[in-house]
Amino acid sequence: MRWIDTHCHLDASEFDVDRNAVVKRARVAGVKQMVLPAVAHTNFDIVCQMAHEHGFVCALDIHPLYVNEATETDLEEALNGLH
């Protein structure tokens, strides 16, 4: 069976120690794709970098918790996928 993890915050600090092992275990379990969502402009780059490094997909977004901190430019970058 082929699985897709549609919402994985692989960039979270909880994964710093074993991020590659997490990805390996997911692949062994049949996860063929992961969507890594960004939550704010400050993590657009790292989320996209991790997605590309592992062959996954990044989703640029502004989480509701960070909307008040977001600028128009941040929103434009998220909507236009400029990373």
- In the chain, where are the structural domains located? 3-80
pTM of the full structure:
0.86
More confident residue, 61 or 4: 4
- As a whole number, mean pLDDT of residues 71-81 equals 83
Could you tell me if 30 and 2 are in contact, meaning their C-beta atoms sit under 8 angstroms apart?
A: yes
Instruction: Give dist(CA 42, CA 71) in Å, integer.
Output: 11
Q: Reply yes or no on whether the pLDDT at 34 is more than 90.
A: yes
The token pair at 28 is 């062994």
Could you tell me if 24 and 34 are in contact, meaning their C-beta atoms sit under 8 angstroms apart?
A: no
